[in-house]
Structure 1
């Protein structure tokens, strides 16, 4: 399974500061090496116009307050459905991986869940549950579909031994639909982590100044089907080399 997205908003918009991009690739198996996903799951859906991108726009639109409210409704709704289907009690979870449109949203979400379940809410309790899950997202920014799995990678790479510990997952998509499910970390997982490569991928990124950022943000490819090369800028193993005949051309870096 591959989750890959680029989060882009208008210059000067409230969402601009949350922009980011990431991709996560996972092998889903009956004999997992890292985390075993378990039944049941809890589902929530509602018709909420909190985030959308019209066909005629290249950037998304978001109603910030409505979006936060919708997310918190989803946290409550999925948890209610999950527990009614016989899921774990809150105290049984070692950590929680939330979809993170911005890092503080995970904090808001877990505080809301603790309140909803009648638990004491303090910074220590929140940090124990989500502290290690936000490390990578705080640097990367919003990556939409990849963000919950980036949170999982961050947790596995940075937490102490999690063997046989239950992890909660909250997947969310604006509009809105959400799912809460649980997984248990399997024995031997630490020998298979790629922590070093994850950290190297983050650290090899290059800083740019604001003028260059504006230039990249406002760039768009022509749509006439001509040949348009792309400068060699990426630090990854593959790059977008150009467009030709309305096709993307990729090559090794």
Structure 2
């Protein structure tokens, strides 16, 4: 029985900044951002948006009355949780108006947990093939204004329906996970911005990719030639290039060139949005499927990474009607509008964060279908338009 990704949809905010403009304001050579990091634009988050509203927006794009009837579980994978106890999936379920007999949980392990959610969902579907699981990878990446990590911020959500006989990607049985206790990136409970050792984190990422890929090849006998493309977790697009080149090295044969070209196709959307943490790998997958030279029957490799650290390499087979079951990311990105750096800074500092006071946001300027209206008596107030 095939089990995998049946449908995919993406959502982000409707605002962005140009990183060349940010570089000018920060006194940095723009090439450091656009070439050295590999990013062009970055999503800007108004205070009326968070992982719940973004996750619900992405999920709304793929849910139909037919697949809602078979939905058993919602899993939200995030490292931008809004409560240390209550799962964000419960809020998402309420905003979507779903049945109370739907299971709701939240998973955390840095950027990796979206992959963990998919693997757990596969197990649930294997037990009950008539049911499906909604996996939402939603995050807001924050490092602080005028910090070394500012250029790798971003926001968005990728929603995926996991089912039997999927229409997008049938996930193969073999996967290799790998974990070690390292301090390359973390966010203490008292902090709203992450702490990161960037160079160390990059080295750990590359090591985890090489280790998981090698073990996968040992277990399956497959080589790089067996993949039409490899999709990477992309906190910034240059990270995937560094990992791929660590394996390809000086190769210039057809296989190596194909993998490089497909990597470029997988980077298109991430360059426009920034870091999605748990959703970055899967926005890369959507980007490859919509911008790369991919056809039904192709095998794709996927490398997932979460600091702290956890990595996994697995593979899937592209299905015959994959293109019809992806939301139109190009359209969504084209509908956004640019804001100035001062406006971006104002919105960055207007986030609800960890404050305990009652607050009411002006939601009139936010045209999204779901908004965070504020907080009262320590409870977040969400609205569905």
TM (normalized to structure 1)? 0.91
* Residue in 2 that maps onto 1:194: 327
Please name the residue that 1:70 is paired with.
Answer: 204
Find the residue that maps to 1:187 and give its secondary structure: coil
Instruction: Give the alignment partner of residue 6 of structure 1, picking from 140, 145, 168.
Output: 140
Residue matched to 1:22: 156
Matches within 5 A, 1:215-230: 215-221=346-352, 223-230=355-362
Between the aligned partners of 2:383 and 2:248, the Cα distance in structure 1 is: 48
**Which residue of structure 1 aligns with residue 375 of structure 2?**
243
Aligned to 2:270: 137
Larger displacement relative to structure 2 (119-128 or 9-18): 119-128
Compute the displacement of 1:139 (Å). Answer: 0.3
Q: Can you list the C-alpha shifts for 1:187-213, whole angstroms capped at 9, x where unaligned? A: 122233333xx2222222221111111
Segment drifting more, 173-182 vs 224-233 = 224-233
Larger mean CA deviation between 222-231 and 24-33 belongs to 222-231
CA deviation after TM superposition for structure 1 residue 11, in Å: 1.6
Measure the CA separation in 2 of the matches of 1:186 and 1:45.
31
CA gap 1:234/1:121 in 2 versus in 1, 3 angstroms? farther
Q: Deviations over 1:84-128 (max 9, x none)?
A: 22252111101111000101111111111223xx84489845532
Q: 1:44 aligns with which of 178, 181, 195?
A: 178
How far apart in 1 are the matches of 2:155 and 2:375? 21
Structure 2: state its 5+ residue gaps.
1-134
TM-score by length of 2: 0.61
How many residue pairs get aligned? The number is: 249
- Relative contact order, CA 8 A, sep 6+: which one is greater? 2
1:208 aligns with 2:339: yes
Deviations 1:133-182 (A, max 9, x none): 00100000000000000011111112244210000100000011100000
State whether residues 167 and 319 of structure 2, in contact with CA within 8 Å, keep that contact through their aligned partners in structure 1: yes
Partner SS state of residue 220, structure 2 = coil
| Displacement over 6 Å in runs of 4+ | none
